[in-house]
A and B are shown apart, each in its own frame.
Chain A
Amino acid sequence: DARVTQTPRHKVTEMGQEVTMRCQPILGHNTVFWYRQTMMQGLELLAYFRNRAPLDDSGMPKDRFSAEMPDATLATLKIQPSEPRDSAVYFCASGCRRDRVKWLAKNIQYFGAGTRLSVL
């Protein structure tokens, strides 16, 4: 049963500390997304990668957030320094996109269970 795995599931930290969230996409998927879910804003796209290359990070605060894919089996989202307003659930999703032609696109995204971050 292939699934997206996120660690940790929960993280409580103090303001100013560095936070690293990890995601293992489904094997064979070439696209990885990071979303943030809050009560006020709902689900927002932060960044995404295709074939490990960043395609769009316009939703991510650049001064404190960074996203990387060191290899095809690992994506990371880092916050340094963390602030209370970063408290949210962070979801990773993966999918497979082989062709830009719409009818060939396999644009289903599979979500991990999320990392619930609390910054005190």
Chain B
Amino acid sequence: GDSVTQMEGPVTLSEEAFLTINCTYTATGYPSLFWYVQYPGEGLQLLLKATKADDKGSNKGFEATYRKETTSFHLEKGSVQVSDSAVYFCALEDGGGADGLTFGKGTHLIIQP
């Protein structure tokens, strides 16, 4: 079945550091890929998405590129802020018609001033 693997962390960085959170996936079809973010005590919010190979999703300084050849969708940001501290989830939606999302375990990101 489908699966998503991401680094679990916690990942601790200093403010203004460069961020990479790795995400790889296994899927039978042509999935859409997502990054969701969860702040403490809140639900998940969509951060960015990509629906086909070589698409780049971007939002709030975060970027991720859909790499079909490496089955990856790594999240990057050039300069993180304390307010970026949260849990980040990589997810996929199977392109075969099933609509539920398959999530990675989540990466807890801590940004120190």
Contacts and interface: CB of A to CB of B under 8 A. Distances in A.
Interface stretch (A14-22, A61-69, A76-84, A99-107): A99-107
Contact of A108 (B46, B103, B105): B46
Interface residues of A, number: 28
A103 B43 contact: no
Contact of B99 (A42, A91, A97, A112): A97
A24 interface: no
Given A56-B98, A102-B95, A111 B45 contact: yes
B99 A48 contact: yes
Nearest to A100: B97
B104 A42 contact: yes
A118 interface: no
A43 interface: yes
Given A107-B32, A107-B93, A111-B43, A55 B103 contact: no
Given A4-B43, A31-B99, A48-B100, A102 B30 contact: yes
7 contacts: A42-B105, A45-B101, A97-B99, A103-B51, A110-B46, A113-B42, A113-B43
Interface in B30-53: 30, 32, 36, 41-46, 49, 51
